Structure 1
Amino acid sequence: MSDIEFGNNSIRERLYNNAFELKIAPSLQCLIDRIIFLITDSNSSINDIYKVLNQDPGLSARILSIANSAYYNRGYPLYDLHQALVNIGLEEAKNIILCLILMDGIKGRLKFKDLFRFWRHSVFVATSAKILAEKTLDENPQLAYMGALLHDIGRIVFYSEIIDYEVLIKDLTTTHKKERFMAEKELFGIDHQEIGYIIAKKWGLPEGITSIIKNHHNSENGKGKTLLKIIRMSDMFFYCRETNGDPEKLILINEEENINLELKKNMEVLNIITYAK
């Protein structure tokens, strides 16, 4: 990789082009609209999800691998997809399927340390956002989880394209107290919100999700401002546990043990999601 001339058009174009090249499997692309509808539909059932997953052998195999893992196994091997979904549970299955779709797009692009960092942050924020949506009754909890899990998808391109991305960003975010997206703009001419928006549009994600990805650092922009605020507060809570008088942060502090338990489970399952065929 050639040396980076910070802020110039060359690196911006390279990041832009990389975002367009980020693909998911064609079989998943054909099913993604239906899968996302079922994930966010509170009336969807195990049978509905089974019928869609059964059309993709690769995705079905990974669900079976996870169902047979230590966290979900009931003491006997599972070979049937429907029973695997029953054992995992409807809401948990929805979360796992979303994670599998995301992982399909990023697998093999990142070093494990970057993948671990990205995954840990995304799952923490997603779990926090889902809890806030459940507690405040303002938004669909599954939509909050989905939007939060995908909110930083643009970072994938920076990790894969920029050597020492975190090191370069850290100087501006810690020493000069700039937010990450502002530091990215200054260094590379584009930020992870813009890059993420390109990916979201290419993958055909719903407008509500693309708006979150494009605007999550400014809850005053985009549609669904309440949902944006929930994700923004969850994102901030990852970095700072002080409430500063925010009722949302107080809720999350009271739920921190549950958030960390869910995070631990997801990080343990990371290897299965990453390497299962």
Structure 2
Amino acid sequence: MHKAASQLLTLEFIQEQLEQLPLLPGVVFELMKSDPEGETFYEDMIRLAKKDPPLASLILGHANSAAYIGKGAVDSIETALARVGSHTILQILMAISVARVFLPSKEEQRNIWRHSLEVAQISSFMARRSCFPHVKPETAYMAGLLHDIGRFVMLQIAPEALKKTEVRGWGGSEELIEVEQKSLGFTHTIVGQMACKKMHLPKLISNIVRYHHQHEVVRHPKVPKDLADLLLIIQFSDALSFYLATESGWSKMSSRELHQKIQEEVISSHWDESFLPLSELVDALPRIFQDCESACEVLGIRK
């Protein structure tokens, strides 16, 4: 499903190739509807894991990983789920399910996977804050995980055509869009929306994929509250991930300094900053990135 580097990459070609792309496994849609606080959550997760042995193995591996060092080995899926916790296990299952379609086998794909996991982790944290009552953390996580699905698709279909955008794109989200538009004539957000339609993803996720680089959409009067809130979360998390990737010394900054840097370098004028729990987020970032590392370990992604 690769395109010759000399051949022009077009949306028509991408649409044709999308027909060959495997659908996301049905478990993804089950997971998106799951309630980690529900009475039957663990029973549902055990059922899903036991009918998918490779999935169960990955869950066991995570429960015995360095993230849980000193707690002793576990050898049953029931014990593994209890150790890891409902929210974490749901996130891991979502990531594994998506990874089966978009295998992170190349360096470019691993870079996008790491970024997507960071956005997903940050978004999930943001959604758990009371200022976003319309957004479920699980929905925020999946939206963060899939927000760059267009990049995944383009790398699978025509990796050679994206070399120029890969070299320059990670300098910032705005630069990435500009380079794609100039080099290809379209952006990964358009391709992502096409992929969402092909995979029958919910309209809410599709709109996040399409508009996550358009900050002005958040305040549009016709945008529904649930979309506006989730879009703000994803846009902020995306911008923060880009910033932290370029600011290698952020973990050594004081909380006050990092808070100020985020306000200056990340916050868009289109967002209502009062809805962003920055102080809590700054304190939680080390843990969030530790969780991201654990997810990368499960998926076999390395720097």
The amino acid of 2:54's aligned partner reads G
1:101 Cα deviation (Å)?
Answer: 1.0
CA distance in 1, matches of 2:278, 2:117: 14
Matched, 1:162 2:159: yes
CA distance in 1 between partners of 2:109 and 2:4 (Å): 23
SS of the equivalent of 2:293 reads helix
CA contact (8 A) 2:4 2:160 kept: no
Q: Which residue of 1 aligns with 2:123?
A: 129
78, 82, 85: which one pairs with 1:82?
Answer: 78
Please give the root-mean-square deviation of Cα atoms over the aligned residues, in Å: 3.2
Residue 98 (structure 2) pairs with residue 92 (structure 1)? no
Which residue number in structure 1 is paired with residue 288 of structure 2? 262
Which shifted more, 150-159 or 91-100? 150-159
Q: Do the aligned residues in 1 keep the contact of 2:42 with 2:81 (CA within 8 Å)?
A: yes
Cα deviations by residue, 1:187-212 (Å, 9 ceiling, x for unpaired): 22332112222332333322222221
Q: Is the 8 A contact 1:33 1:204 kept in 2?
A: no
Q: Distance in 2 between matches of 1:11 and 1:186?
A: 13
- Paired residues of 1:132 and 1:248 also in contact (CA < 8 A): no
Partner of 1:243: helix, strand, or coil?
helix
The offset of 1:4, in angstroms, is 4.0
Aligned with residue 238 of structure 2, among 210, 235, 248:
235
What is the rounded CA distance, in whole Å, between the counterparts of 1:36 and 1:63 in structure 2? 18
2:252 alignment counterpart: none
Matching residue within 86, 101, 106 for 1:105: 101
CA 126–21 in structure 1, closer or farther in 2 if over 3 Å, else same: same
Corresponding residue for 1:63?
59
Instruction: Letter of the 1:34 partner, please give it.
Output: E
Q: How big is the shift at 1:128?
A: 1.9
Instruction: Give the direction of change, closer, same or farther, for the CA distance of 1:29–1:169 in structure 2 (3 Å limit).
Output: closer
Gaps of 5+ in 1: none
Residues in 2 aligned to 1:33 and 1:145: alpha-carbon distance in whole angstroms: 13
| TM-score, normalised with respect to structure 2 | 0.74
Q: Distance in 1 between matches of 2:286 and 2:110?
A: 15
Specify the alignment match of 1:2 in structure 2.
4
Q: Give the drift of 1:227.
A: 0.9
Q: How many corresponding residue pairs?
A: 265
Distance 1:151 1:80, change over 3 A: same
In structure 1, distance between residues paired with 2:20 and 2:145: 21
Q: Is the 8 A contact 2:121 2:292 kept in 1?
A: no
Q: Is there any run of 5+ residues in structure 2 with no aligned partner, and where?
A: 244-260
How many Å apart are 1:145 and its aligned residue?
A: 1.6
Partner of 1:272: 298
Q: 1:114-193 to 2 correspondence within 5 Å?
A: 114-135=108-129, 136-138=131-133, 139-160=135-156, 161-163=158-160, 165=162, 167-168=164-165, 179-193=175-189
The verdict on how the C-alpha distance between 1:153 and 1:257 changes in structure 2, with shifts beyond 3 A counting, is farther
Structure 1 residue 178: deviation in Å? 5.2
Q: Does residue 195 of the first structure (1) align with residue 221 of the second (2)?
A: no
